[in-house]
Amino acid sequence: MRATWLLLLFLPLVGWAQNSVQVGSKRFTESYILGEIVAQTVSATGSAQAVHRRGLGNTGILYAALESGAIDVYPEYTGTIAFELLGLKRPHSIDELNRLLQPRGLAVGVPLGFNNSYALAMTERQAAALGVQRISELAQLPQLRFGLSQEFVNRRDGWPALKGAYGLPGGNVRGLDHGLAYEAVAGGQVDVVDVYATDAKIVRYGLRVLIDDRGFFPTYDAVLLYRRDLPERFPQAWPALQALEGRISAARMTAMNAAAEISGRPFARVAGEFLEAVPAGDGRESRRTFLQSLFGGNFWGLTGQHCVLVFASLALSVGAGLPLGIVAQRAPRWRHLILGGAGILQTVPALALLAFLIAALGRIGTLPAIIALFLYALLPIVRNTYTGLVEVRPSLRESAVALGLPRSTQLLLIELPLAARAILAGIKTSAVINVGTATIAAFIGAGGYGERIVAGLAVNDSAMLLAGAIPAAAMALIVQGGFDVLDRVAIPRGLRAQAEGGSR
């Protein structure tokens, strides 16, 4: 009977999951907009809901999420599929790509109508002063500083192959977020950047796109990369997606990018205007103010997501950290393993840990983010539990033994209460750390305030960046203040005085 009620309880959730198209996008403006167009197109059919997992990261993360079934579809480019994902040596047609993708359960289709190739660019003033018009001419200028997006630096059809094809100097290369590269080259911090053909800022910043005189860059036609079973699972939504074929010209895509990057319009609004056939504008509108960005429509939703990430992971850390700290204090042979292991977890880079968890769990989103935050929050709790128990005065333990109290009773009634302040301090430290670290979770579609930070980086929107960073900082201060109050209210004055006396 109980199982029946549980089944009835979760049936709506199962039905919702089956009727949701999970749409992914990369961490740059155009991908955000195309992802919104796909999501809104699906939702407009009324046959399914669409969830847009915005700014999931680079090609590798998106592709892994697609293969695992964590997402169903995302906008991609034929050159990237051929060279980066399939490791091919030459461009292939869509039919050839589909033949190679079929064993992986994936497919490519719906060419959107424009080619967004990679290119290298310099400021018009510097290019004219140096007499540079072609990429091959850069080989004679080893003093130039290259500012290249992180993905371009590492991908097969990016910097390593381009450097070899043109014989370019490779000793003065700096990795930059794509959204920041234009300001860097305009400010003279770098000399050459990689750009996309439809970037709106090429004209705005007066850049000269260098001629690819050796034909290195292939065609990067925008398409949809999707799970092969998507048309069968969503037979009404799929024709609507197919109707997007050929609808987006390069000029229209450039105008939409300008609306987001220069005018500061939300990605969802830009996509909605395209679907409603509203002109994209000329990019000269005023940007959103900080307050408009801060208290936008998704503020409370992001706040809820951030709270789930922080406090769910903190609860797991407390549940595991307290017993581990107790074992470390009572079992010396396990002490170095427990404290050392918790310390090592703190040294693992956050993005590396998230990438590992995505591969291990075969999914993106909240679960791997919570597990990563749980692991990062262990050390302060384990260490402070161990320290608090060690600092309990031996005379108190001896008194408990003289009274004949069992070890478990000693722990529960004497040692843990006396160590409570140290333990609570460790939990507070973990909670404050998690508030900041949780912003990284936006890179794998877990939401929270980091979603605004990632989006702000994509379009170099300082108001959007602050609209994510300031609430995270405020939450950290609130959490710290809450634990300070809890310390004064929950721990009796006598125990606080006893703990302080035991620490002297």
- Enumerate the domain spans of the chain: 13-115+220-287, 118-209, 299-503
Measured in residues, the chain has a length of 504
Instruction: Tell me the average pLDDT of the chain.
Output: 85
List the alpha helices (DSSP H) in 276-406: 290-294, 299-330, 332-347, 350-361, 366-376, 378-390, 394-402
In terms of pLDDT, which residue wins out, 177 or 427? 427
CA distance linking residue 355 with residue 68, whole number of Å: 13
**Mean pLDDT score, 215-235:** 93
User: What pLDDT sits at residue 465?
Assistant: 84
Is 26 buried (19+), middle (13-18) or exposed (0-12) by CB count in 10 A? buried
Q: 21 near 42, Cβ under 8 Å?
A: yes
User: What pLDDT sits at residue 419?
Assistant: 87
In this structure, whether the domain defined by 118-209 belongs to CATH 3.40.190.120 is answered with yes
User: What pLDDT sits at residue 166?
Assistant: 93
Supply the DSSP string of 59-113, one letter for each residue. HHHHHHHHHHTS-SEEEEEHHIIIIIIS--SS---HHHHHHHHGGGTEEEE---S
Q: Answer left, alpha or beta for residue 319, where phi above 0 means left and psi between -120 and 50 means alpha.
A: alpha
Band (pLDDT 50/70/90 cuts) for residue 503 is: very low
Q: 286 near 152, Cβ under 8 Å?
A: no
Most confident region among 275-279, 289-293, 346-350 by mean pLDDT: 346-350
In terms of pLDDT, which residue wins out, 289 or 467? 467
* Per-residue pLDDT at 261 exceeds 90: no
CA distance linking residue 55 with residue 177, whole number of Å: 13
DSSP-assigned letter for residue 23: E
User: What pLDDT sits at residue 455?
Assistant: 77
* Per-residue pLDDT at 355 exceeds 60: yes
Give the percent of the chain with pLDDT over 90: 48
The secondary structure element, H or E, covering residue 430 is helix 420-437
**Which stretch of 48-52, 180-184, 230-234, 420-424 has the lowest confidence by average pLDDT?**
180-184
Do 118-209 and 13-115+220-287 have the same topology in CATH?
yes
DSSP β-bridge partners for residue 53 = 24
Answer CATH for 13-115+220-287 from 2.115.10.20, 3.40.190.10, 2.160.10.10, 3.40.50.2020? 3.40.190.10
CA distance linking residue 260 with residue 283, whole number of Å: 8
**Mean pLDDT score, 278-289:** 54
CA dihedral 7→13→18→23, nearest 10 degrees, is -160
User: What pLDDT sits at residue 18?
Assistant: 54
In terms of pLDDT, which residue wins out, 245 or 495? 245
**Mean pLDDT score, 357-367:** 80
**Mean pLDDT score, 473-487:** 92
Give the percent of the chain with pLDDT over 70: 90
CA distance linking residue 57 with residue 444, whole number of Å: 7
The CATH class given to the 299-503 domain equals mainly alpha
DSSP-assigned letter for residue 492: -
For 138-160, the pLDDT digits (tens) are 999 999 999 998 888 888 778 98
Q: 372 near 357, Cβ under 8 Å?
A: yes
For 94-131, the pLDDT digits (tens) are 999 999 999 999 999 999 999 998 899 999 999 999 99
Q: 17 near 363, Cβ under 8 Å?
A: no
Which has the closest alpha carbon to 219: 367, 371, 333, 114?
A: 114
DSSP β-bridge partners for residue 222 = 77
CA distance linking residue 198 with residue 250, whole number of Å: 6
User: What pLDDT sits at residue 75?
Assistant: 97
* Per-residue pLDDT at 290 exceeds 70: no
User: What pLDDT sits at residue 382?
Assistant: 95
In terms of pLDDT, which residue wins out, 337 or 401? 337
Q: Name residue, tokens 């065609």.
A: 219
**Which stretch of 175-189, 190-204, 355-369 has the lowest confidence by average pLDDT?**
355-369
